[in-house]
Structures are given as C-alpha cells and as structure tokens.
Structure 1
Amino acid sequence: METMLSYVDQYGYIVLFIALMLELIALPIPGEILMSYAGYLVFQGHMNWVLCILAAALGSSVGMTIAYGIGYKLGHPFIEKHGHRFHMGPDRLNRISQWFTNHGNKMLIFGFFIPGVRHITGYFSGVTRLPIKVYMIYAYTGAFVWTAIFISIGKLLGPQWDQFHTSIKKYLIIGVLLAAVIFIMIYVYRKNKQKIKSWLIYFIKNMMEKRKRKAKLFIVFSMFVTLALISLMMGLIQDFLGNEFADFNEITILLIDSIFEGKWISAVSAFELAISNPTLICIASLTFLWIVWRGRERLYEIVFLFIAGIGGEVYEEGLRALFQKIAPKMSSSFPGEQTLLATVIYGFCLYLFVLHLRNHWIRIGAMVVVVIILFFSGSAQIYIENEWPSDVAAGYVFGGVWLGLNILLLEILRLSKFLKDNS
C-alpha cells in the first residue's frame, strides 16, 4: 500500500488513471484508498481537484469498457460451456439477462460503492448483451459519481483522511444498500402491481366516501411512518448507551467545518435563528391563526397544536433527564433540544398547511422549504458547537416520533367524529 501511495505522489494523475482502470477489470487494487489519498494531495495543493476526478473517472470508464468487451466476447457460449461450475445454466442466464436488460442499468451506478459488485457488473453486462449505449451512460455516470465522492472526501478530511476512510466507506455502503432496498421494493411493486392493487381494493372496499377513504389511508401511512421512526429511535438509544457515536460525530463535524470554512457565518446565524425559541413561538402563533382561518375541526387542531408544542417541550426535557440519569457520563444534550422542537413545530405547521391547501406545487414548495430549514438549522447547531451531530440526528428522529403520534391521534379523532356524524 505504501508503495502504491508513493507512486501517486510521484506520478499523480497517470497512476490514478491506470490504477482505477485495472481495479475495474477486477485486479486487487485499493482504488477507494488511492482516491481518498489523491483528495488529500488536493487538500495539500499538490494536485488539482477537477483533474483528479477526470483522471479517475476516465480510468474507471476505460476499465468498465474493457470488462464489458471481455464479457461480450465470451458471451453465452462461455456460460453454456462452463456455467455449470458456478450454477449458471442457460435458462438461469436468460432470466438474469432479461432482468439485467430491464433493471441492470441502475445496478451499474449503485454497484460502484459495493466492493465485489463493481468488479463483475461490467463483465455481466457484456455477457448479457446489455445495449452498449445504455451501458455507457450508466457505467460512466456511476464512475464519475463514485470517483468524485471519494476524492472529495479525501479533500474535505485532509490529514485525517486515513483515520476516517473506513468509517465513511461503511456509511456510504449502508446508504447504497438502503437505496438498493428501495429499488428492489419498487421493482417488486411493479412486478406485482395487479396483485397489490387487488389487495388494496379489498382493503378499502368499504371506504366509499372520499373523505373517509383518504382519512383511513392517511392513518395507515402515518402509522407505518411513526413505527419506522420508533424503530430507528430504539436503534439510536442503543448506540447512545453503547457510546458508538464517536466516529459519526467526528466525521460529521470535520465535514461540516470543511464545507462552511467560516464563509457562511451570516447564513449559519440565520438558520440558527430559524429554530430559536422566539421563532418557533412565532411559527406556532401563525399556525394558530391559520387554523382559525382555514381549519376544518378547529378545536381539535388547536388542542393538538398546544399538545405538540408544549407537550414536545415536556417530552424533550423528560427524555434528556432520563438519559442523564441512565448514562450520566454521556452527552447532556441528547436528543438535541432545538432540532427536536423545530421538527415538531415546523412539521405540525407543514402538516396543517398542506392539509388545507389544494395547489399541488405550493404543497411541494412548502415541504422543500421546511426540509431545507430543518437540515441546515441542524448543520448550524453542529457548526457553532451547540449540539453534537448525534444529538441533532436524535432530535430529528425523536421529534418525528412525537410529531407522528400527534398527527396519528388527530386523524383518528377526525375520522371518529366523521363516522359518528354520518352514522
């Protein structure tokens, strides 16, 4: 490894090009470490960031093209002759080829981030005769994204690139696997669309009234989201009590400090103000006026606005006191106070705003604005060292649980009232 890194020091872009090309042909070369080290050299000013990405992406693309060519040359005759050795007969190959033709292009992008997978997708694309134009678009795009991310990580981490390389790689793989799971779920849905539709029709066959149908489906959706957040919350509690946030906190702080670099102080101050207590009180007050003006069941909505806001404060203080009692040596700001309250107040406001508006684009715009405010406000809390990254993440999740429970109960009350009034 030291020899390989010294070659990057001496020959720079050429070594980066050749190494990435050879890795994608399936030679055992640690391309991700080389790219992170190249990013570190960019940090030092010894290499150019754009040229590094271009050299690495071009080398990866050439390697993927060679792998495709070899696979294309071997083709089906090779599988028919030798496939029995690795349980790949002609029938199975045809089924996989059909799947790969329809969906393998996405795997070309995801696969770059999964060790072992990126080394075979090129060959398999050639064997299955994936159209070369489709292959080039997705393979080259994946190569560019993959190389740009790892080189940029090395640049952002600077001297600590080798310390956190493994941890960041782990988080990237987890993210890619989650994306792959989502892709598989979409694929399963499309494959079984009619069965799922039949099940849904059976499920809602007694929901003839439009409002009642929407309410029940929204309750089911809210329940699933809230349960997912509760599950995530349990995982965060386990990690907190096990003191497993050290790497996550250090990496996140390092990345945020590198991104902002003191140039966005005014923006940081604005986002910090956006989740301050006076601002949250103003948002809650405006939401109260919105309910009075546009609310459907005003009493219910006003009551739950107060429960969400005031109860959220009690909920947050109770959680922090509980964790301090259980683990007094751990962070005293877990979960993050301001991010939790901001998630609850902004989330409940958004819920009512979207509920009472019919314009699709305004709804989407409001959602985007709230997500931006919450994300960058949390980043600001980390940048000014008010809260640890793990506290901010927990604030989002714990706040989401409280918000989900309030929305779920409110919708159940709405539905109960509707059924009672129409019985």
Structure 2
Amino acid sequence: MENLILQMIEAFKELSYLGIILALTFEFVPAELVLPLAGYWVYEGTMNLYGAIFAGSIGGVLGPLTLYALGRCGGRVAIVKFGRYFFIKEVHIDKSDQFFEKYGGSVAFLGRFIPGVRTAISIPCGMAKMNVWKFIIYTYLAMLPVTAIYVYLGYSLGTQWEKAGELFSQYANYMLISIAILIIWMIVKRRKLNVQ
C-alpha cells in the first residue's frame, strides 16, 4: 500500500507545488510521507524550501476542510457511513466529540497535535457549524509548524528522507509539551473569565 501511495505522490511531483497541495488534500495520503518527500525534492533542487512549506500547509488545510464539510453537511450519520474511506472509525469520532465539547473551537488548532484525534477533529468542528474561516485559520496555524519541520527534515536528510518520521517524533515531544502548556493556560484563562 505504501509503495502505491509513493508512486501516486511521485506522479504529483510533475505538478510541482500544486502536486503537494493535491496529495495532501486526500486524507488517506499520509502527510508523514508527502512532506519529507517534498523536502527531498527541495534537496534535489526541483523546489524551493519556502514554497514547499507553503504548499504543504495549504494542502494540510484542504484535507481537513473536506472532513469539516462532511461533518457540516452530512452529520454523524454520514461520518459513520463514509468515515472508513478516510480511515476514521467511530471511536475516533467519539474522542473528537469529547475533545470538542471540552475545548470548543480552539480544537481546530489544538487537536492537530493529539494522536487519535488529529484527523477526526475536523468532523465535530463541521457538525458544530464552527465558522469556516476560523476553522481554516486555526488549522493553518497548526499545520504550518508541523509542515515546516517535516519538509525541513526531508531536506536535511536528503536521500535518507524516509527517516524523517523517526526524527519528527523527537521534535513532537517538545511540540506536545508546548501545546500542553498552551491548553493549561487557556483553561486557566477561561476559568478566570467565568469567575469574573
């Protein structure tokens, strides 16, 4: 399966930056493969680092936007019925719902950093009819650092770009700590506002 996806991504290379965007628009194509490979293309000199990061971030918004639209237009029934085509199980939807209820619209940003929630979090945002522009901005702000790290790792590793996932997990721990601090700060701030 991974080889088939890699062949598909290589075909998207012919479309340059648009190819990166299109590859990431399909939620079943893992960003963990596309972005380091885009970094490798930068290493080869066929793309610009900043252009690859920008294209990756845009694609990283369009993919979740399709799930947001599915949640907004089809609701939970459609998600349960069609979610398997996006590798989303009902348990993922349940976790995402709980996370959305707890943290509100900010989950479009925060949920991107939590395994088991990051893909499915777009669905409750759509079901809750969250403002689409707010959703896009939060998602973009979350995807930009993740994309930058993956693309840069692919660029730095060159011909060994496949190792980017292992290295990213080291960076991810620092990122998750930062996100945890942000979540705690938001909860404290929200409670102070509710007290006043």
For normalisation by structure 2, the TM-score amounts to: 0.72
Please say if residues 16 and 56 of structure 1, whose CA atoms lie closer than 8 Å, have aligned partners that are also in contact.
yes
Structure number with greater Rg is 1
Report whether the alignment pairs 1:123 with 2:127: no
1:141 paired residue number:
141
The one-letter amino acid paired with 1:152 is Y
2:161 paired residue number:
161
Taking CA–CA contacts closer than 8 Å with sequence separation of 6 or more, which of the two structures ends up with the larger relative contact order? Answer: 2
Please say if residues 109 and 139 of structure 1, whose CA atoms lie closer than 8 Å, have aligned partners that are also in contact.
yes
* CA apart distance, 1:99: 3.8
Q: Structure 2: which 5+ residue stretches go unaligned?
A: 80-89
SS class of match (2:121)? helix
Please say if residues 71 and 78 of structure 2, whose CA atoms lie closer than 8 Å, have aligned partners that are also in contact.
no
d(CA) in 2 for partners of 1:5 and 1:143? 21
* CA apart distance, 1:77: 8.0
* CA apart distance, 1:71: 0.9
1:4 paired residue number:
5
SS class of match (1:120)? coil
Identity fraction in percent: 26
* CA apart distance, 1:138: 1.0
For normalisation by structure 1, the TM-score amounts to: 0.36
Q: Structure 1 residues 171, 76: CA separation in 2 closer, same or farther (over 3 Å shift)?
A: same
d(CA) in 1 for partners of 2:130 and 2:181? 23
Q: Structure 1 residues 129, 99: CA separation in 2 closer, same or farther (over 3 Å shift)?
A: farther
1:54 paired residue number:
54
d(CA) in 2 for partners of 1:145 and 1:183? 15
* CA apart distance, 1:179: 1.9
1:177 paired residue number:
176
How many residue pairs get aligned? The number is 176
d(CA) in 2 for partners of 1:77 and 1:167? 37
* CA apart distance, 1:130: 1.8
Please say if residues 35 and 151 of structure 2, whose CA atoms lie closer than 8 Å, have aligned partners that are also in contact.
yes
Please say if residues 67 and 123 of structure 2, whose CA atoms lie closer than 8 Å, have aligned partners that are also in contact.
yes
Q: Structure 1 residues 19, 192: CA separation in 2 closer, same or farther (over 3 Å shift)?
A: same
Q: Give the alignment's Cα RMSD to 1 decimal.
A: 3.1
Q: Structure 1 residues 76, 115: CA separation in 2 closer, same or farther (over 3 Å shift)?
A: closer
* CA apart distance, 1:119: 0.8
Please say if residues 52 and 151 of structure 2, whose CA atoms lie closer than 8 Å, have aligned partners that are also in contact.
yes
Match runs of 1:19-418 below 5 Å: 19-23=23-27, 27=28, 29-75=29-75, 99-101=102-104, 104-105=105-106, 107-163=107-163, 165-190=164-189, 193=192
d(CA) in 1 for partners of 2:124 and 2:58? 20
d(CA) in 1 for partners of 2:101 and 2:6? 42
Q: Structure 1 residues 124, 39: CA separation in 2 closer, same or farther (over 3 Å shift)?
A: same
SS class of match (1:118)? coil
Please say if residues 110 and 176 of structure 1, whose CA atoms lie closer than 8 Å, have aligned partners that are also in contact.
no
